[in-house]
Amino acid sequence: MSDPVQPDKRPLWIVVAALLLGAAALWGSSRLIWFAEERDGGVRGIVLDTATGAQRAGALVPIAVLAVAGVAGMVATGGWPRRVLGVLLGLAGVAACWLAVDGLRTSGYPDGAPVGEILAGRGLAAAGGILVVLGGLLGVRKAARMPRLGARYSAPQREPVARDPDTELWQALSDGEDPTSGR
């Protein structure tokens, strides 16, 4: 008979922290400027047109919400549902990384463009995506070792060990019960 796998809370806390930090980074990145170009403003002349991460890559906030929901899923599930969720989160993190590098350029910005904010926004999205990928992959890898919600109240995995009747009689006497009564 093999010993059941003892749950370890550390990987679960690492997954939760990675997913929450990744979600925060993705949300913060969606608020920063991601794009700047000059365009004709008609009567105003040439104007600098900017777009935030949420405007340019609309999937940033939904991926952040998915990462937060993934925290609840990782805590509540176990076994293969946790692994499926981990794979889904990993794919969402890869998508966030793709959004961060898609259309990225290091030069050719117009004068007055907030280049530092553009690069910081995309870098923050890439870091958030990497954290979500790491959280998902750790959830897949350590799914069996992480505790799950309600596991304390589930039925034990092992069968009870058969005891010697004489030992039971002596144990009953030790507990202050009459072993000759019909219980």
Query: For the chain, which domains are there?
Result: 9-151 (1.20.140)
Q: Which of 15, 95, 35, 39 is nearest to 63 (CA)?
A: 95
> For residues 16 and 179, which has the higher predicted lDDT (pLDDT)?
16
pLDDT tens-digit profile of 60-81?
Answer: 999 999 999 999 999 988 889 9
- pTM confidence score: 0.76
**What is the structure's pLDDT at 79?**
86
The whole-angstrom separation of Cα 173 and Cα 68 is 55
pLDDT tens-digit profile of 6-53?
Answer: 667 788 899 999 999 999 999 999 999 999 889 888 898 889 989 999
Please state, rounded to an integer, the average pLDDT across all residues of the chain: 86
Q: Is the pLDDT of residue 4 over 80?
A: no
CB neighbour list of residue 98: distance below 8 Å, 6 or more residues apart: 129
Eight-class DSSP state of 152: G
Residue 103 backbone class (left: φ over 0; alpha: ψ -120 to 50; beta: rest): left
Q: Residue 34 half-sphere exposure, CB side, CA atoms within 13 Å?
A: 26
